[in-house]
Structure 1
Amino acid sequence: MKRALAITFSLLLAALLAGGLLWLDRWIDETELPPLTLETGVEVLDRNGDLLRAYTVENGRWRLPVSYDAVDPAYIDMLVAYEDRRFWSHPGVDLRSFLRAGWQRLSTGRIVSGGSTLTMQVARLLEDSGTGAWGGKIRQIRLALALERRLSKEEILTLYLHLAPFGGNIEGVRAATLTWFGTEPHRLTAAQSALLVALPQAPNSRRPDRFPEAAEIARNRVLSRAVQFTELTEAEIAWAREEPIPTERRDFPALAAHLADRAITDRPTQGTHHLTLDASLQRQMERLAMRAIGDLGPRMSAAIMVLDHGTGEVLASVGSPDYTDAAREGFVDMTQAVRSPGSTLKPLIYGLAFDAGLLHPQTLIEDRPISIAGYAPQNFDALFRGEVTAAQALQTSLNIPAVTLLEAIGPHQMLSAMGRAGMEVHLPEGEEPGLAIALGGLGTSMQDLMALYAGIARGGVAAPLHWREGDAEEGQRILSDTAAWYLGDILGGVAPPPNAPRIGLSYKTGTSYGHRDAWAFGFDGQHVVGIWMGRADGASVPGAFGAELSAPLLFEAFSRISDETTPRRPPPPGALTLTTAQLPETLRRFIPSAASGGDSGPAITFPPEGAVLAYQPGLPLLARVAEGTPPFTWLWNGAPVATRIYDREIALEAETGFAELTVIDATGQAQRRRVEIEN
């Protein structure tokens, strides 16, 4: 009878135990988990994965993405050793720790140690629940058991690495290492790891910037435990105890602030943005911009861009010296602002003239007073130099030769080339482009001017700028390889600013009307650098010249890119290195079209006689006529292609090969030009 009762009792107890286990298993499985995908701040990284700029999450906390493999393993070992030595083996709850903590509480009447595992701490952090109430503790136990069933140990630790509080609005180990040590968490000292272990236990009362003594005591307590349960030696621990506690909170990186904002605006749902910038170079350029405006008044600003013209990658982009400086309107990105380019477009005019067969670098061109349809440009110093070579005219940035060349080429031809370079042009509303665009009478941006100079530097083919990795595109041809080489060779002969090194840099400066913008653009065999200086509000800066303000900064910027400039490419096969006397008769002197006509008949100013023009699929041939009486009739190889045309510029469809272009005005007078369109 007794034996039967014992068996019955044992069976009943086993059934109760089995039922309890089944209930516990179902209780764990039915646990409703909080969201495990954590919100992290948007980060902008450079070409090497280094942090350029970070943003807080919506509640204003710094919480940055971090992977388990990106954290120093020694810190993980120290964390587990101090907080939860059986973490890798328990199911989320450590019964031995619970029993020990309970016994200590009963025997001493106070809390000596906690029984929470790292998994339970993650559960609490996920739901932001308290630590002391029994209801909260039971919920943490249930959630910890459920997390262990759904996630790996590494995934649980990764949640901790994101959620652990480290003082103030700092959450997660990556935000903590950047705040307190100014470094990423992949490599930490023993002292740094110990402080990171200690801080989450009392993040506000142990903040090292406010309570350094409390932080040091807690850190050293962790180090003492590390001697017993990690591979650190007594000597290493002693050395770690001597390491100073960080007493200042560091700012998060805010490099390339304007470009980072653009990246986020462009793709607002993307969490991590990979840019082509180089963080080290960006930092140097930002410091250079800040130093450059130091003595120029509280409203002066500057912008710098560095580009690899071989790939089109932007390596540095400084929109202003200080993003937060309201007096300088530092929030305005001056690499994007529409400004007058001054004389910086002159190389394009000369390049188009080279390609049109109008001149060679050693062709003589007159610098004398002119008036074209009432437009009478002046040189910047109001002087005239008479007859100079085209190279000299460009090197000294004479205005009158540039205008006479543009009159021969036609403004629309210049705008077409700017379009092929990827530039966006802004003209006064309702106005047609005139000859004033040769001297900066239009609006464009620093970024677009960088694209133009990159195209010249790489042999006349546009290099579409891109600052986001993977966004490279093919560019169109702007100029011939020969014309581009001529420009690089001419600009390479411009004397450097006083005290600047002779480093073989090809560069051009420019100053807009009213001294509002001081420009300098330069290139070597690999890089293009652009400099702008002025006021963001567009106000005049008396006495500001590109050659005096921006050119020295240009040479300084190049010195920070590399110890030596990369040599420019050698001359292409089509380049003629001849003196003026050695040139063909038709190229020895440039005769402006306005000076060639002695009567009132029509005069074709573009294309010139014998011109060899590059065929551009989808782009028409622009022809231009001066003098004569409209309307005009245009013939192509004797066949009418346009009649009763009152405009003096027309777009014609052209095919490859030799052709004769004829224009006839209303009085019956005509002029012909023979040209070749080559593929």
Structure 2
Amino acid sequence: MRSPAIGPTILAALTLAAGLAVGAPLMLKAQVASMPLPAVAPAVSTVVLDRSGRLLRPFAVADGRWRLPVEAEDVDPGFVRMLLAYEDRRFERHRGVDLRALARAGWQLATRGRIVSGGSTLTMQVARLLDGGPTRSAAAKLRQIVTALALERRLGKAEVLRLYLTLAPYGGNIEGIRAASLAWLGKEPKRLTPAEAALLVAIPQAPEARRPDRGADAIRAARDRVLARAAALGAIDTGDLATARTEAVPQRRRPFPMLAAHAAERALRERPGEPVHHLTIEAGLQGRLEGLARDRAAALSDRVSVAILAADHRTGEIRASVGSSDLLDLDRGGFLDMTRAVRSPGSALKPLIYGLAFEQGIAHPESLIEDRSTAFAGYVPANFDRTFLGTVTVRRALQLSLNVPAVQLLDAVGPARLAARMRRAGAAPVLSDLSPPGLAIGLGGVGVTLTDLVAIHAAIARGGEAVALRIRPDEDPLPPGRRVLEARAAWQVGSILAGVPQPGGASGAIAFKTGTSYGYRDAWAIGFDGRYVVGVWVGRPDGEPVPGLVGIDAAAPILMDAFARIGQPAPLPAAPPGVLAASSAGLPAPLRRVRVPRGGGPALVQGPQIAYPPAGAEIDLGAGRGAAAPLALKVREGRPPYLWFADGTPIGTSDFGRAVTFTPRERGFVELMVIDGAGAAARSRVFID
């Protein structure tokens, strides 16, 4: 019998089926090969790291998301094992799509009418995260499958895993394992407990519903399911399961690290295109000193801030930079970096003045010098307490921060030389463009920053050799051998400052100097041991006076606490060769008393002198904001009675007392004049604000 002939329709169907069976894989392969990949380099947060690679501060990406860079080696291996066991057991074996998982998920959906288990691989999830489009439709799912195959073909398993670790959603604007671990656990993901790992596996399955800050029940139940499955699949020991289930789940979002905030922001401004910034800062020390600044500012008056700068003077590397007591405290100007604000240093430059005098053979620490009222071409400095001690040693004059001896020595060495040596140390003093440096710069009549003062004292600590303070490892150092002081002079200054009594009475471990600017606006303390130099500034960032704000009381205790938080002080260096050790009487005759070649003589007292306000002062009396407050005018020397004038108009007379009050009519410059009973006069031009 002949077999019935195959009809044309059946033959065509069989031919089509055979063609599809052979051609579909070829078509899919061609589509995968030509598939344009989505952007596989998503924007990640710029990060600032400390000297050891610890995170100081991350910055959100442009759309406000926290998506930190991460590599697989930065993540606990236990988390990766648990993730793959729970999400994609055959990750290492499939090529982007797990056909068995897809078939199982489809069968369950068809037979039960609901989704029982997902069929997406980790690679398919990455494809969905990169694409960012809808995934419910069949067309979208097919595109996801093709994209997953293309990702694995072109990128490989390791890069696919890194992309998942970077992009997985963790609720709100948190993406990626590293941002999630910091936000929900307060730690880097390098070391995780089984319970922490399970928590971070569970959240991306329903990131908004399982956010820990929206209730603990949902995330605890999801975490425990992950733990149970991980134990069943051998991803964790069954003995750890019971312990992990008892571990508490977080219930709030933690802030991201924000150490050295001002320095981090400056690093971004200087090099905006770099994704990772490495600084010389030590995160542990930075955190301790930020806590110190915050606690001490809180104990002071409102609106007072504290800045601290610590550097290794052997290398110039900055180890801690605290720009303010609290970045977010607007009342205290926390957003201002006071390590770089230009302020008056008060007496903090005196060590360099004395060092120059030692270097030039003008004085020796045991030389005698006069602390008496002295006039220098009309400039008559006075000590902080308005008293004079007479004849003292240079050592004692510096330790007591006497003003007249400092000005005598500055007059001898020259203010221009002082400014030049400041610049050689790496400082940038702000001086008037209208006249050369004057003697007033020795007592604070110059603008400097905390960074400048630390650089100057770093040079003294290094035996007089300058060092560039740097906060990046790759910053250029200063040329070697750039001298600020001769080695013997620098050591002599250090030995004097080491003898200054510290708050509490001790001395010797740390050489330090304090300073108080005019009007109690700035309190300073700068010190060094054999390794570190630390500077402290205390004051109001807006420049307003703070009554009673004095360096020895406000800044010096913070300085000593800063050194205590650094650790055991390093010994100060021994004396270099050639240092002359002798008492005052044992010194060579030219050094027994300070020689002042260009110095001043005794102050002439025939005429009056305006003690307050000094010439050139800018005084805030509220004249620019309405009615001005009264201004106290004070006179010294001369003979009573005293007649006062403002812009040529008489404003008051004092028969026996040396003070009157004057209320300015408006904001602006005022020419003050006083005439004593003998007809002698003194003038002072000031600006009233």
Bin the TM-score by the shorter chain.
0.7 to 0.9
Aligned mates of 1:419, 1:477 — CA distance in 2: 11
Q: How many residues align?
A: 596
- Choose the corresponding residue for 1:400, options 393, 401, 404: 404
Q: For residue 551 of structure 1, what is the amino acid of its counterpart?
A: A
How much has 1:368 moved relative to structure 2?
Answer: 1.1
Counterpart for residue 632 of structure 1: none
Q: For residue 538 of structure 1, what is the amino acid of its counterpart?
A: G
Q: For residue 329 of structure 1, what is the amino acid of its counterpart?
A: G
Do residues 44 (structure 1) and 76 (structure 2) align?
Answer: no
SS in 1 for 2:587: coil
Q: For residue 556 of structure 2, what is the amino acid of its counterpart?
A: A
Aligned residues of 1:364 and 1:590 also touching (Cα < 8 A): yes
Aligned mates of 2:133, 2:523 — CA distance in 1: 59
Aligned mates of 1:597, 1:413 — CA distance in 2: 22
Q: 1:289 to 1:596 in 2, by over 3 A?
A: closer
Aligned residues of 2:377 and 2:600 also touching (Cα < 8 A): no
Counterpart for residue 33 of structure 1: 37
SS in 1 for 2:344: coil
Do residues 234 (structure 1) and 256 (structure 2) align?
Answer: no
Counterpart for residue 584 of structure 1: 588
Counterpart for residue 678 of structure 2: none
Aligned mates of 1:12, 1:540 — CA distance in 2: 92
1:269-306: per-residue Cα shift (whole Å, max 9, x none)? 00111110111100110110011111322211110111
Do residues 533 (structure 1) and 553 (structure 2) align?
Answer: no
Do residues 478 (structure 1) and 511 (structure 2) align?
Answer: no
How much has 1:500 moved relative to structure 2?
Answer: 5.8
1:392-419: per-residue Cα shift (whole Å, max 9, x none)? 1111001001111111111111111111
How much has 1:10 moved relative to structure 2?
Answer: 8.5
SS in 1 for 2:310: strand
Q: 1:379 to 1:93 in 2, by over 3 A?
A: same
Q: For residue 30 of structure 2, what is the amino acid of its counterpart?
A: R
Q: 1:168 to 1:12 in 2, by over 3 A?
A: closer
Do residues 181 (structure 1) and 185 (structure 2) align?
Answer: yes
Matches within 5 A, 1:442-461: 442-461=446-465
Q: Which runs of 5 or more residues in structure 1 are unaligned?
A: 599-679
Aligned mates of 1:83, 1:333 — CA distance in 2: 47
- Choose the corresponding residue for 1:126, options 100, 107, 130: 130
- Choose the corresponding residue for 1:573, options 555, 574, 577: 577
Do residues 347 (structure 1) and 347 (structure 2) align?
Answer: no
How much has 1:595 moved relative to structure 2?
Answer: 6.2
Aligned mates of 1:596, 1:454 — CA distance in 2: 32
Aligned residues of 1:77 and 1:230 also touching (Cα < 8 A): no
Counterpart for residue 371 of structure 1: 375
Counterpart for residue 561 of structure 2: 556
Q: For residue 70 of structure 1, what is the amino acid of its counterpart?
A: D
Matches within 5 A, 1:358-507: 358-475=362-479, 476-497=482-503, 499=504, 501-502=506-507, 504-507=509-512
Counterpart for residue 276 of structure 1: 280
Aligned CA RMSD, in angstroms, stands at: 2.0
SS in 1 for 2:263: helix
Aligned mates of 1:429, 1:543 — CA distance in 2: 32
Q: 1:480 to 1:595 in 2, by over 3 A?
A: closer
Q: For residue 533 of structure 2, what is the amino acid of its counterpart?
A: V
Aligned mates of 2:587, 2:335 — CA distance in 1: 53
Aligned mates of 2:287, 2:308 — CA distance in 1: 12
Counterpart for residue 525 of structure 2: 520
Aligned mates of 1:549, 1:426 — CA distance in 2: 25
Q: 1:22 to 1:543 in 2, by over 3 A?
A: same
Aligned mates of 1:588, 1:528 — CA distance in 2: 32
Aligned residues of 1:78 and 1:230 also touching (Cα < 8 A): no
Say which is worse superposed, 20-29 or 49-58, in terms of deviation.
20-29
- Choose the corresponding residue for 2:149, options 130, 136, 145: 145
SS in 1 for 2:48: strand
Aligned mates of 1:139, 1:11 — CA distance in 2: 28
Counterpart for residue 309 of structure 2: 305
Aligned residues of 1:500 and 1:555 also touching (Cα < 8 A): no
Q: For residue 515 of structure 1, what is the amino acid of its counterpart?
A: Y
Q: 1:427 to 1:267 in 2, by over 3 A?
A: same
SS in 1 for 2:354: helix
Q: 1:191 to 1:525 in 2, by over 3 A?
A: same
SS in 1 for 2:362: coil
How much has 1:313 moved relative to structure 2?
Answer: 0.6
Q: 1:168 to 1:589 in 2, by over 3 A?
A: same
Q: For residue 52 of structure 1, what is the amino acid of its counterpart?
A: L
Q: For residue 546 of structure 2, what is the amino acid of its counterpart?
A: V
Aligned residues of 2:498 and 2:507 also touching (Cα < 8 A): no
How much has 1:13 moved relative to structure 2?
Answer: 5.7
How much has 1:234 moved relative to structure 2?
Answer: 1.8
1:87-145: per-residue Cα shift (whole Å, max 9, x none)? 11111111111111111111111111111111000000001122322121111011001
Aligned mates of 1:230, 1:483 — CA distance in 2: 71
SS in 1 for 2:183: helix
Matches within 5 A, 1:209-224: 209-224=213-228
1:494-545: per-residue Cα shift (whole Å, max 9, x none)? 0111x26545210000000001000000100001111100000001111111
Q: 1:340 to 1:4 in 2, by over 3 A?
A: farther
Counterpart for residue 673 of structure 1: none
1:316-369: per-residue Cα shift (whole Å, max 9, x none)? 110101111111111010000000011000010111111111111111111111
Aligned residues of 1:42 and 1:55 also touching (Cα < 8 A): yes
Q: TM-score, normalised by structure 2?
A: 0.84
SS in 1 for 2:333: coil
Say which is worse superposed, 515-524 or 380-389, in terms of deviation.
380-389
**Same amino acid, percent of matched pairs:** 53
Counterpart for residue 194 of structure 2: 190
Aligned mates of 1:555, 1:342 — CA distance in 2: 20
Aligned residues of 2:345 and 2:448 also touching (Cα < 8 A): yes
Q: For residue 533 of structure 1, what is the amino acid of its counterpart?
A: V
SS in 1 for 2:331: coil
Aligned residues of 1:521 and 1:529 also touching (Cα < 8 A): yes
Q: For residue 388 of structure 2, what is the amino acid of its counterpart?
A: F
Aligned residues of 2:336 and 2:541 also touching (Cα < 8 A): yes
Aligned mates of 1:113, 1:145 — CA distance in 2: 21
How much has 1:470 moved relative to structure 2?
Answer: 2.1
1:135-191: per-residue Cα shift (whole Å, max 9, x none)? 211110110011010011111010000100011111000000001111111111101
- Choose the corresponding residue for 2:269, options 253, 261, 265: 265
How much has 1:68 moved relative to structure 2?
Answer: 1.2
Aligned mates of 1:16, 1:561 — CA distance in 2: 74
Aligned mates of 2:5, 2:39 — CA distance in 1: 52
Aligned residues of 1:312 and 1:472 also touching (Cα < 8 A): no
Aligned residues of 1:460 and 1:484 also touching (Cα < 8 A): yes
Counterpart for residue 22 of structure 1: 26
1:70-102: per-residue Cα shift (whole Å, max 9, x none)? 111111111111111111111111111111111
Aligned residues of 1:303 and 1:532 also touching (Cα < 8 A): yes
Aligned residues of 2:339 and 2:450 also touching (Cα < 8 A): yes
Aligned residues of 2:324 and 2:336 also touching (Cα < 8 A): yes
1:200-257: per-residue Cα shift (whole Å, max 9, x none)? 0100001111121000111111111101223422220111111101111110000111
